[in-house]
Amino acid sequence: MDTEKSRRTFLKSSMGVAAGLITFPVADAGAAGMLDKFKTVRIGNPNAAPKIKFAAIGLNHGHIYGQIEVLKRGGGELVAFYAKEPDLVAAFQKRYPGIKLAGSEKEILEDKRIQLVTSAGIPVERGPLGVQVMKHGKDYLSDKPGMVSLKQLAEVRKVQQETGRIYSIMYSERLENRATIKAFELIQQGAIGKVVQTMGVGPHKMNPSSRPQWFFEKDKYGGIICDIGSHQFDQFLHFTGSTSAEVVASQTGNLNNPQYPGLEDFGDAMLKGNGGAGYVRVDWFTPDGLNTWGDGRLTVLGTEGYMEIRKNIDIAGRDGGNHLFVVNKKGTQYIDCKDVHLPFGEQLVSDVVNRTETAMGQKHCFLATELTLKAQANANKISFRS
C-alpha cells in the first residue's frame, strides 16, 4: 500500500461538499430513530461568485493543497503564490496551472487585491510570516503548528491585537473531519450529557525517506507535541468548552529512532480546563501494515454517554474514514459521517468579509497554541533505552 497515496486520497475525500440535508446510515436498524431529532443543514452556495482573493506563501507541507481547497470551497479565489523551492513551485503549477507565481513574498504582501494569505511553510517560519501578513493589512491562515515557541506566540498576539487582523490555524483533524463535526453537533444537542473529558490520539506513519530535512530538526518543527499534538489541544478546548486551561503534565522522547537525534517520536500530556479534563498522545509508530497514515481517534466522555471518532479508518472493517460511534442511555449507534457538511471555509471567508469570529475565535486559537507550546517546553524527557 502506498501510504502517501492513501493519505492524499483521505484528504481529497475530506474536501468534498455535501448537498442538502444529512441522513444517518446506521449499523443497527433498530436504533435508527435514536438520533432522529439531530439535523444538519447545509449552508452557503458553492456556485456563488468568489468573495475574497487570496494567495499562498510557503509550500513546504502538502497540507497547503487542503488549505487552498478549503478557501476555494468557502468562496475564495486563489490569485497568486510564492515559494523559494523550484521543485515545490513546479508541483504547485501542475496542480494549479495559470496561477501567478510572484517574484517575492513582498510582491504578495503589497498586493492590495489580496485579502488573505495562507501558508504551509516550514513550521518555524509560519509565525514570522503571519506577523508580516497582518502588518500589511491582510488575514492569515496557517498550517498547524502556527508557531513553534512562546516567543513567537507573544509577537503574534501583540501584532494581532494591534492590527485587528485574523490569525487562524488550520486544525484539519477537527475542521476537516466530518465525523468530528457531527460529534460536536450531537454533543451540543445533549446526546451524551455534559462533557467530562476528551482523549485524543494522533499516531502517524513516519516514512523517513519521503520527509524533508527540516522534519528531523526540532528547532524547525518545534517538537512532536508542538507539531502533531497541536490538533489534540484544539479539540480539547473545543469539545470541553474550556476558556482557560493548564497543562498538568507532559513528556516527550525519542524512543526508537536514535539515527535521528533531532526527532521526537513520542509525546503525551494531561490537561485541566474550566470545562473538562483532557489527555493527548501522539507518536510516529504507526506500522506499515495499516493502510492509512494513522489511526487518529478522539473519545469524548460525557455524564450520560460517550463518543468515539475514528477519523481515518475503522480497523473493524468498515470502508473509508469519518466513523462515529455513540453510546448513551438510548443505546449504541454507528454513524457514517461521509456526507456531513464542512463549514470552516465558508465561515472563515465570511469572517474576512464581515470582520467576525465564526470560524475560530481568536482567543481559542491562541489558547490552544499556548497550551501546546507550554506542554512542549516543559515536557519531561523520557528514554527506555538502557
pLDDT in tens, 181-238: 999 999 999 999 999 999 999 999 999 999 999 999 999 999 999 999 999 999 999 9
The structural domain count of the chain equals 2
Q: Is residue 350 part of a domain?
A: no
pLDDT of the residue at 45: 54
The 10s digit of each residue's pLDDT in 271-287 is 999 999 999 999 999 99
pLDDT above 60 for 94: yes
pLDDT of the residue at 2: 47
Average pLDDT over residues 357-375: 98
Statement to judge: residues 313 and 246 lie in one domain: yes
Question: And the C-alpha cell for 226?
Answer: 508542538
Average pLDDT over residues 87-94: 98
Statement to judge: residues 181 and 36 lie in one domain: yes
Q: Is residue 336 part of a domain?
A: yes
pLDDT of the residue at 384: 83
Statement to judge: residues 237 and 285 lie in one domain: yes
Last residue of a domain, one of 146, 170, 194: 170
pLDDT above 50 for 78: yes
- Among 1-5, 137-141, 250-254, 323-327, name the one with the lowest average pLDDT: 1-5
Q: Is residue 114 part of a domain?
A: yes
pLDDT of the residue at 77: 97
Higher-pLDDT residue of 49 and 380 is 380
Last residue of a domain, one of 128, 145, 170: 170
Higher-pLDDT residue of 29 and 94 is 94
Q: Is residue 353 part of a domain?
A: no
Statement to judge: residues 187 and 160 lie in one domain: no
pLDDT above 50 for 4: no
Statement to judge: residues 147 and 221 lie in one domain: no
pLDDT of the residue at 48: 65
Residue in 323, 74, 92, 139 with CA at minimum distance from that of residue 102 = 92
pLDDT above 80 for 33: no
Statement to judge: residues 131 and 233 lie in one domain: no
Statement to judge: residues 94 and 142 lie in one domain: yes
Whole-angstrom distance, CA of residue 188 vs CA of residue 363: 20
Statement to judge: residues 240 and 336 lie in one domain: yes
Give the chain's mean pLDDT.
89
Query: Quick check: 203 and 315 in contact, CB under 8 A?
Result: no
| pLDDT band at 382; cut points 50, 70, 90 | very high
Q: Is residue 231 part of a domain?
A: yes
pTM value is: 0.87
- Among 73-87, 143-157, 306-320, name the one with the lowest average pLDDT: 306-320
Find the domain containing 184 and state its range. Answer: 3-40+173-344+375-381
Query: Quick check: 117 and 108 in contact, CB under 8 A?
Result: yes
pLDDT above 90 for 6: no
CATH code, domain carrying 104? 3.40.50.720
Percent residues over pLDDT 70 in the chain: 87
Question: And the C-alpha cell for 231?
Answer: 490538533
pLDDT of the residue at 385: 67
CA angle (59 as vertex; 368, 99 as ends), nearest 5: 120
pLDDT above 60 for 31: no
Statement to judge: residues 268 and 123 lie in one domain: no
Statement to judge: residues 60 and 181 lie in one domain: no
Statement to judge: residues 334 and 195 lie in one domain: yes
- 235-to-26, 62, 201, 337 alpha-carbon distances in Å: 25, 22, 11, 18
Q: Is residue 362 part of a domain?
A: no
pLDDT of the residue at 254: 97
The Cβ-side half-sphere exposure at 248, using a 13 Å CA radius, reads 11
Query: β-strands 297-302, 195-203: how paired?
Result: antiparallel
pLDDT of the residue at 184: 98
pLDDT above 80 for 241: yes
The 10s digit of each residue's pLDDT in 58-70 is 999 999 999 999 9
Statement to judge: residues 13 and 88 lie in one domain: no
Q: Is residue 352 part of a domain?
A: no
Query: Quick check: 73 and 345 in contact, CB under 8 A?
Result: yes
CATH code, domain carrying 187? 3.30.360.10
Please report where in the chains the cell 487562524 appears, as a residue: 168
41-45: long-range pairs with CB below 8 Å, 24+? 42/18, 42/341, 43/341, 43/343, 43/346, 44/74, 44/75, 44/343, 44/346
pLDDT of the residue at 47: 57
Last residue of a domain, one of 102, 135, 170: 170
- Among 7-11, 176-180, 230-234, 266-270, name the one with the lowest average pLDDT: 7-11
Q: Is residue 333 part of a domain?
A: yes
pLDDT of the residue at 50: 78
Name the burial class of residue 51, with classes exposed (0-12), middle (13-18) and buried (19+) by CB atoms within 10 angstroms of its CB: middle
Average pLDDT over residues 323-331: 96
